[in-house]
Amino acid sequence: MTFYTNMDLNASPVPDDDEQQPYDDSVEVGYAQTEHVESAVATLRREREERRKRLKREQQDDGSRLHSQQIRNDYAPQPKRHSRIKEAPQGWLDCPAFGEPIDKIIPSKVPLDETFNESVPPGKRYSSKQLVNKQRKAGREIGLVIDLTNTTRYYSPAEWTKQGTKYAKIACKGRDAVPDNESVNKFVYEAMMFLDRQKQSKNPKYILVHCTHGHNRTGFMIIHYLMRTHVSCVAEAISIFAQRRPPGIYKRDYIEALYSFYHEVPDNMMIACPPTPEWKRPDDLDLNGEAKQDDDDDNGDPGPLHNESEDKVITNDDVLGDEVPYDQQEALRVLCYRLLEMPLGRGHAHFPGSHPVSLNSENLQLLRQRYYYATWKADGTRYMMLIMRHGCFLIDRNFSFRRVQMRFPHRSLQGLQDMTLIDGEMIIDTVPDSGLKRRYLAYDLMALGSVSKTRLPFSERWKMLEDEIIQPRNNEKGLERGAKSNPLYKYDMELFSVRRKAFWVLLTVKKVLKVFIPSLCHDADGLIFQGWDDPYVTRTHEGLLKWKYPEMNSVDFLFELTNDNRQLVFLYERGKKKLMDGARISFTDDVDPSSVAGRIVECSWNKEEQCWACMRIRSDKSTPNDINTYRKVMRSITDNITEEKLLEETDEITLLPMYADRMNVRVHTKMAQHRRRLPPQC
């Protein structure tokens, strides 16, 4: 055994070549006059205490020594003042440097720059340069570094960028909190985009991901990536990471958060969590004689854990889902336009969904010219939904995307839907004995598996919506007799349920108005008339008609106030604000007009007061109605198509041959299907 005497931990060691000494080698320390050999841990602790006392004595003597030396020689160099030694994170020294690649993603502990050399023995050092050399020796070139630490003290990003390596910082707290969903979305998108670009390269580069030790936060992010790209089971993804970076994630709250996020339960309802590694043991003091932090948080005290109350009242104004990176949102917008077969241009930031027009005496005649079905007009929030392999995205009227964790299996129950676009509305049902429940009423399908379906008639798209989207979910849930069920995934943990909205022939309009709508568990304000043979028409669809109860006809205005509290009411015309001279909005006593200034206000016409009356604030919209929409609503208000008049018209229309013939075909088809199901007669 080799012994070192008069060891000075402040002395800068000679730079070492990381390839000359393996990282697992330990530095042996001893004293020639001792009768026994201390353990490395006992020696290190004793030397820390001796060093703390020596530092204290030297700092007291610093001033007197400096003064006497300056008297002896005015040109003598100033003695070096003792600065704080940068201490490596607790457990870092013995933590393995990195794991094996997982789909070209390398988990690693944080590399420390040379300013940490005084506290890190030569054989334990792991800088960015040493990291790169080790990976190159293994035949791997690093192209992207994703830093998950919540500090900037370990190294400068320039260590990567100067050598042409892309660097991304996603700061995540390491104490009492798992990475938030927005950070996860950013990580997964960064990794997906980088690796997708590498597919075209003959020599694809790798991603290096690190937190402090490369296990919990790093594992949490990589498992999210696996779940959204390759694996469909949390337990499998956790196992893959643990095999490539032993022992894997060892914090129970991280593992529980993964199961909860992906709405799964572990086998036998038991979460397996490996014990804390031997190298992750807290020490009493650091080299400065102070208590050591167990993480890299620069923010002081840990933030409170976020727990939503289960009793929280849900509303249509709630913001659903998690924010996605700006670049991803732009890419998803382009994808939606492609799936809808819309040309890209300056206007690709506008919501492309189909909009109905108000029913009036003129377009009412369309019901006589084309075959229509009817459904109720729910008073909910409009969303398109883009279903991708790596997540589902709610698309609001502002054409903003937010990710929600949902599951849409293929019809065969083998794999998940990808690049599928549907349309619908979010409603809140008041369910007896259960309270408020969110439901997404899907009513159209525009693309399936990256193939646009917009040119198909509505009747086919509506049927595909049931067969390809709704029924596979029901089958997997085991709701149908003999269906295959997935016991691991819990659909009831999703943010909302999904149903297909019903449509009926015009003959049933009276029953819809008199029986169905009054029995609904959510609000409805009228009817929608959908052309049965129509393609999907983006933006304003002149053949898609909406009828509202006369008192519910409304216009969405932009409301503003001047400094002297004068009302300004705006619409849009050719994408610009248009002031509606003389327009006025009345508010109820419990609404302060100044509190809604700058907001979109949905208003109905008050005939008695000859002004607009505020119905609600449209939190889901950022722009008012177009002037043309306003004119159509005003035409509808003027024509005043009441419920009685509408029923008279539909009764007359359904007697037309176009409707009567189709109704006869439907009746004969149903009778034939019924006869085929009857048992043979003896």
DSSP string, 94-148: TS-SB---BTTEEEEPPP--GGGTTTS-GGG---HHHHHHHHHHTT--EEEEEE-
Q: Which residue has the higher pLDDT, 669 or 197?
A: 197
CA distance 246 to 98: 10
- Establish whether domains 105-277 and 322-543 are of one fold: no
**What number is the average pLDDT over the span 75-85?**
55
Q: What pLDDT does residue 83 have?
A: 61
Which range (279-288, 310-319, 333-342) has the least confidence? 279-288
Q: How confident is the model at residue 539 (pLDDT cuts 50, 70, 90)?
A: very high
> pLDDT confidence of 84, banded at 50, 70, 90?
confident
Q: What three-state secondary structure class fits 263?
A: coil
Lowest mean pLDDT among 50-54, 74-78, 204-208, 656-660: 74-78
Give the amino acid at 266.
Answer: P
Q: Check 211, 336, 603, 614 and give the catalytic one.
A: 211
Q: What is the mean pLDDT of residues 665-679?
A: 58
User: Helix, strand, or coil here: 542?
Assistant: strand
Q: What letter would DSSP give residue 301?
A: S
Does the bond joining 247 to the residue before it have cis omega, within 30 degrees of 0?
yes
Mean model confidence pLDDT for the chain: 85
Mean of the pLDDT values across residues 240-260?
A: 96
Provide mean pLDDT across the span 512-517.
Answer: 97
- pTM of the predicted model over 0.85: no
The residue-averaged pLDDT of 31-51 equals: 52
Contact criterion met (CB below 8 Å) for 222 and 105? yes
Tokens of 212: 């402090």
Average pLDDT over residues 569-576: 95
In this structure, of 204-218, 273-287, 566-580, the range with the lowest mean pLDDT score is: 273-287
Kindly state the average pLDDT of the residues 180-192.
98
- Checking if the pLDDT of 304 tops 60, the result is no
211 is catalytic: yes
CATH topology (fold) of 105-277: Protein-Tyrosine Phosphatase; Chain A (3.90.190)
Q: How confident is the model at residue 64 (pLDDT cuts 50, 70, 90)?
A: very low
Res. 24: pLDDT tops 50: no
pLDDT at 66: 44
Considering the candidates 124, 377, 453, 632, report the single residue annotated as catalytic. Answer: 377
Domain ranges of the chain: 105-277, 322-543, 550-640, 647-676
Q: How confident is the model at residue 485 (pLDDT cuts 50, 70, 90)?
A: low
Q: pLDDT band for 73, please (50, 70, 90 cuts).
A: very low
Pairing relationship of beta strands 372-378 and 401-404 according to DSSP bridges: unpaired
Contact 569, 557 (CB under 8 A): yes
| Per-residue pLDDT, 479 | 58
In which residue are the tokens 């109820």 written? 588
Phi, psi of 62 (to 5 degrees): -55, -45
Question: Active-site residue 377, yes or no?
Answer: yes
| Residue with the larger pLDDT of the pair 521 and 433 | 521
**φ/ψ (deg, to 5) at 210:** -145, 145
Which segments are annotated as binding site for GTP? 382, 397, 423-425, 546-548, 616-621
The pLDDT of 488-510, averaged and rounded, is 96
Domain 322-543: what homologous superfamily? DNA ligase/mRNA capping enzyme (3.30.470.30)
Question: Is the pLDDT score of 254 beyond 90?
Answer: yes
CATH class of 550-640: mainly beta
